[in-house]
Amino acid sequence: MKKVELNKKKKQDALLNTAYQLFTEKGFQKTSISDIVNEAGVAKGTFYLYFKDKLDIRYKLIAKKSAEVFKHAYQELQKQSIDHFEDQLIFIVDQVIGALNANPTLLKLISKHLSWGMFKNSLVEPIDDAQRNIYDIYMDLLKNSGHEFDHPEVMIYMIIEMVAGSCYNVILTGEPVSVDELKPYLYQSIRLIIQNHIL
């Protein structure tokens, strides 16, 4: 990468990081472009060199942060020696819940915006070639599970929605139970759903 390109990447990162900080601090609506560029130390116009508009930076931010969480969970998985597919998936879910529980502002940000489409698109076009696509990782886990699955897409979809939906309130409000109280039932439900899809 040339010097100029490196500089560009650096500026975009500065904007993304600043935006993350402000969005989680003050909320998306209450954060203005001015806030972001002032904090990031660039000119207003520079923002529009890197992002189409305010929604664009939120989208890119969520994609980036979500990918980080998933990637980290997968890296942790690889440090373990977990054989069964169910255990692997639950391990990843547990890692992700742990990360979000430790960082509720991140949860709030990605919360209602982490759509199926983003997951399918690997949460972001792979910035780094070496990095694996999240969806591909899931497909690999499936393949190596030694099982055949009925509609694996539907299976993962339902699990994601159940986990995401359940955890949102629980982490942010503690209602209707605490995260730790929820987990055993949630993980058991995941196991049941998986087993139900094994052919």
Residue identified by tokens 């899931």 is: 138
Q: Which does 186 bind (CB under 5 to 8 A by kind): DNA, its own copies, none?
A: its own copies
Burial of 54 (0-12, 13-18, 19+ CB in 10 A): middle
Q: Which residues within the stretch 53-92 sit at the binding site for DNA (CB under 7 A)?
A: 53-54
Q: Which does 34 bind (CB under 5 to 8 A by kind): its own copies, DNA, none?
A: DNA
Burial of 51 (0-12, 13-18, 19+ CB in 10 A): buried
| 186 makes contact with its own copies (CB under 8 A) | yes
Judged by CB under 8 A, the residue of 34, 75, 140, 165 near its own copies is 165
Question: Cα angle vertex 94, ends 133, 193, to 5°?
Answer: 85
Q: In a 3-state reduction of DSSP, which class is residue 28?
A: coil
**Which positions touch its own copies (CB under 8 A)?**
112, 115-117, 120, 151, 153-155, 157-158, 160-162, 164-166, 168-169, 173, 175-177, 181-182, 185-186, 188-189, 192-193, 196-197
